[in-house]
Amino acid sequence: MARSGVITFKGAPMTLVGEELKVGSNLPEFTLHYFEGGLKTITRNDVLGKPTIFSMVPSLDTGVCAIQTRKFNSELAALEGKINAVTVSRDLPFAMNRFCGAESIKSMRVGSDYQSGDFGTKFGMTIDELKLLTRAVVVADASGKVVYAQVVPEVTSEPNYDAALAALKGLL
């Protein structure tokens, strides 16, 4: 399924692949990859049991994506151990690991959708024309039920941090 007219990238209309992930729905099954002494995975089952925030970005190597990741990392530091926080992109796990080390990102895990793009499709967040994830934030409760979802209308704009953080903190 393709959804047109939901987002723009630098003003140009783009198409999202997959069905819209709506509040009240359950997180789909997914597998993300990260590097920590070797390639490892994060799955849906790994995030159950605690509230979870997914911060989706096109690439950590761009200005707005770096700002978004640093902002959530800073804001979520006080909640460490009480939540799951995952930044997701299609960057390679090695590049994501390097970025987190250089930027001292410690409160966010990173997960790469580089292998199959399955996460982006199942969450309805893949930009068809760019084969990257759109900018979005999803918050799910401990059982995996989505309680907040924002797809940022213009990919080069920042998300609504306050609303996402309020939704997450409301689960604690």
CA separation for the pair 163, 169 (Å, rounded): 10
Beta bridge partners of 87: 55, 110
Residue 19 in contact with residue 98, Cβ under 8 Å?
no
| DSSP 8-state assignment for residue 74 | H
Residues 6+ apart with CB under 8 A from 169: 79
Q: Rounding to the nearest 10 degrees, give the CA dihedral for residues 19, 23, 29, 31.
A: 90
> Is residue 65 annotated as a catalytic residue, yes or no?
yes
Catalytic residue among 16, 17, 42, 65: 65
CA separation for the pair 83, 172 (Å, rounded): 9
Residues belonging to the active site: 65
